[in-house]
Chain A
Amino acid sequence: MLGFGAVRLRTDMNRLLSLLFHQGVLDEQFLQLQQLQDQTSPNFVSEVVTIYFHESEKQLRNLRNLLLDREMWDYCKLGIHLNQLMGSSSSIGAKRVRNICAAFRAAVDQNNRPACMRALEVLEHEYCYLKNKLHELFQIEQERVLGDTVRYPGAVNQQ
């Protein structure tokens, strides 16, 4: 029964992942991340993603504040924040967020404020979507791990 649950959870996870890949939310960098997860750091992916969300939330806040500040148009700071967001997003394989960051940066370069505002909105939207989906993914993962730990003692007992 538990074994069956584990298979189901794995299928769910794969389905969700392939959906995210299909939508272009994630790219192969995320797989790299998964490959980096090993015995020495069993929760590597979720740790990294947690850090990512923590940091990028700050970045997004900064971006919004910078854009809403009507007097000061700090082109340089915007660029730096965007760059960092782009760097971390691409590093975890958040492809769509990264792409929007690139578009955002182009708008900043052109000094196009309306385009920047639009980009920020799309960015926030994408960010939320990514966050929800990854959260979902980790929940399944956690369930699976939990199931595994439950199953193993049982397996040991059977022997």
Chain B
Amino acid sequence: MTNGSSFGSGSLSCKPETGVSDQFPAGLRVLVVDDDVTCLKILEQMLRRCLYHVTTCSQATAALNLLRERKGCFDVVLSDVHMPDMDGFKLLELVGLEMDLPVIMMSADGRTNLVLRGIRHGACDYLIKPIREEQLKNIWQHVIRKKWNENKEHEHSGSVDDKDRHKRGDDTDYASSVNDGADGMVTSHKKRRNIKEEDDCEIETDDPGASKKPRVVWSVELHQQFVSAVNQLGIDKAVPKRILELMNVPGLTRENVASHLQKFRLYLKRLSGVAQQQGGGPSSFCGSMEQTPNLGPYGRFEIQALAASGQIPPQTLAALHAELLGRPTANVGLPVIDHQPLLQASKCMPVDHVMSYGQPLPSNITKQISQPVIEDVHSGLGVWHSNNMVGSYGGLGGQNGHKVLMGMLQNQQLQKQSITVQPSRLVVPTQSSGFQVGNSGGSVNQTASFNTSSVIDYSLVLPQSDCISNGIGQRSERDTKTTGCPVDSENRTGCQVRNSILNLAGKRSGEKQISFGESGQVLNQGPLKNLGFVGKGTSIPSRFAVYEAEPPIRNVNHGDNASSPNRFN
């Protein structure tokens, strides 16, 4: 604290807040950070007139220190955008990350991109100078809003035992999807969540641009950038802020990165966790599965976990993953272009990673996989109703996929529009289509030789979404009917998803049409086949080698596979 800073006497007292007093907005503890002393002085006076406790600070770094020293002593932060020692957005980021306080940005510069940047970084308001007293009278609303949102969030994620970190407002959906894995909550909250998410879904499909929380599409390229940034920093030292800086992607916010990093860490953690049980048979896998029921939604980790147990150190896998993720984009052809707008529209998280996670699997695990998958299904069955399964999509592919499905289920009407949006959310084309382009030619025929044509499409689609297929398999084996498979080469993903949706819808509406044979078989091929060619991939760490190696292995796996549906049923 150097010159220009002064402390409101009230704010020094640091009393823990005891509920909402009768003269509520009075006494709100406000920290004002502005390098412009003139503004600081005016703001201080204005805020005093509003009966707030004002603390002013002319340096962002000093303000940050103050906030760190006296956590819980401020209710709201008002910060200038341009400051010489630290950018206001950085302060905003740090405050959001560490203190989780509502931050109001202010600047004379009201250009849209700047305001947008503020909002993206999590500013709860953006005031354009000159600031008037009337505007400041109202800032208490952000404190209340934040508190309410947190309460709501709390309600949703009541039983989440995810100790990793407290989830911030933006991650509400994420939190609830994690929650799906936990027992009791599911049924009680099912209905309400359905309604809520249906609403969300409508908003987002109708007008993605206008939705208040812009979601980032973690495209392959973006994720690769992310991974390389993480690798560069080292996973332990990687903090969202630094990653963001390294990635240098306009429009991407610390929150997006933080949420993504969190998922990435979970994934790595899970990897290393299972890697310790190396050599363990299928039972160990299902064991680990049961231990962490709330990880259920991250079905894709099953595969990765297996990969890890196959003596692949996580780092290697991460690197491989980064490498593999990056390249397919090179062959991304037309299909990608088709899907891209959908992706954009849905603004979903990427499921595309799923495929590459699944890839580096040693072939000797192919047999094991069928077991864990089944175990997974069984252990989860009590909990995983159709909602849950959808929840697993959410965890997988981002909240939106989840939401849409929920919406779908709720409505039980498979509108064309929602279907078209769907695939992009769930099955996630960018990369997968790249893969299809890469290997469709040969492998389609390959598969066709021993299966019906509809099956081909499954097998092609499923590798990318192995855990999705698990989910579907798990459902379909029980009580769903795989509806016809109208598949054309371009539309595979779409069809696949549509099928799954129909399955779900069927289930919801109570028509329990059981036709195991085809669907179960078909669906289960996915993971195995995937594993098969992935197994090769580990021994020959070239993607092209993977492709070449794929067909023969696939045949082998298919053999294995045929038995698994029986076990399922």
Which residues of A pack against B, CB within 8 Å?
Answer: 29, 32-33, 35-36, 38, 40-41, 44, 47-48, 51-52, 55-56, 80, 83-84, 86-88, 90-93, 98
A91 touches B49 (CB 8 A): no
A116, chain B: closest CB distance, angstroms? 17
Point out the residues of chain A lying under 8 angstroms from B36, CB to CB: 55, 84, 87-88, 91
Residues 26 to 63 of chain B near chain A (Cβ within 8 Å): 35-39, 41-42, 45-46, 48-49
Tell me how far the C-beta of A128 lies from the nearest C-beta in chain B, rounded to whole angstroms: 18
Cβ-defined contact, A47 with B41, below 8 A? yes
A29-B130, A83-B107 given; A51·B45 CB < 8 A: no
B129: which of A32, A47, A87 is its contact (CB, 8 Å)? Answer: A87
What residues of chain A lie closer than 8 Å to B107, measured between beta carbons?
83, 87
* 4 cross-chain pairs, A with B, having the tightest CB-CB distances, nearest first: A87-B108, A88-B38, A86-B108, A90-B130
Residues of B bordering A, CB below 8 Å: 35-39, 41-42, 45-46, 48-49, 80, 82, 84, 107-109, 129-133
A80 and B130 alpha carbons, distance in the complex (Å): 17
Q: Which residue of B lies closest to A33 (CB)?
A: B42
Name the distance in Å between A131's Cβ and chain B's nearest Cβ. Answer: 14
Question: What's the least CB distance linking B393 to chain A, in Å?
Answer: 44
8 Å CB contact of B38 from A32, A36, A80, A91: A91
Residues A48 and B41 in contact, CB atoms below 8 Å apart: yes
CB distance from A69 to the nearest CB of B (A): 18
Considering the chains assembled together, what is the distance between the CA atoms of A29 and B38 in angstroms? Answer: 13
- Residues on B with beta carbons closer than 8 Å to the beta carbon of A87: 36, 39, 80, 107-108, 129
Distance between A49 CB and nearest chain B CB, rounded to angstroms: 8
Given contacts A41-B45, A83-B82, contact A32 B132 (CB under 8 A): yes
Select one of A83, A86, A91 contacting B42, CB under 8 A. A91
Interface pair A91/B82, CB less than 8 Å apart: no
Q: Say whether B82 contacts A48, CB under 8 Å.
A: no
Query: B38, B80, B108, B109: which contacts A92 (Cβ < 8 A)?
Result: B38
Chosen A-B contacts, 24 in total, with CB atoms closer than 8 Å, are A29-B130, A36-B133, A38-B49, A40-B48, A41-B45, A55-B36, A55-B37, A55-B38, A56-B38, A83-B82, A83-B107, A83-B108, A84-B108, A86-B109, A86-B129, A87-B36, A87-B129, A88-B36, A88-B38, A91-B36, A91-B42, A91-B129, A92-B42, A98-B108
Bound together, the chains give a CA A143 to CA B524 distance in angstroms of: 92
Q: Which residues of B contact A35 (CB under 8 A)?
A: 133
Q: What residues of chain A lie closer than 8 Å to B129, measured between beta carbons?
A: 86-87, 90-91
* A58→B376 CA distance, assembly (Å): 68
Find chain B residues with CB under 8 A from A33 CB.
42
Q: Report yes or no: A36 in contact with B46, Cβ–Cβ below 8 A.
A: yes
Report Cα–Cα, A56/B35, bound state, in Å: 12
Further 12 A-B residue pairs, CB within 8 A, beyond A84-B108, A88-B39: A35-B133, A36-B42, A36-B49, A36-B133, A40-B48, A52-B38, A55-B37, A83-B82, A86-B129, A87-B80, A87-B107, A90-B108
Nearest chain B residue, comparing its CB with the CB of A80: B82
Q: Which of A36, A52, A55, A84 contacts B45 (CB 8 A)?
A: A36
Q: Smallest distance from the beta carbon of A81 to chain B beta carbons, Å?
A: 9
**B residues in contact with A84, CB < 8 Å:** 35-36, 82, 108
Q: Which residues of A contact B109 (CB under 8 A)?
A: 83, 86
Q: Which residues of B contact A93 (CB under 8 A)?
A: 130
Chain A residues, Cβ within 8 Å of B46: 36
- B38 CB contacts on chain A under 8 angstroms: 48, 51-52, 55-56, 88, 91-92
User: How many angstroms between the C-alpha atoms of A93 and B42 in the bound complex?
Assistant: 11
Query: Which residues from chain B contact A44 at a C-beta distance below 8 Å?
Result: 45
- Residues from chain B with Cβ under 8 Å of A41 in the complex: 45
Of the candidates B38, B42, B108, the one having the most CB atoms from chain A within 10 angstroms of its own CB is: B38
CA–CA, A41 to B36, complex, Å?
20
| A93 CA / B131 CA spacing, docked (Å) | 10
Name the CB-closest residue of A to B128: A90
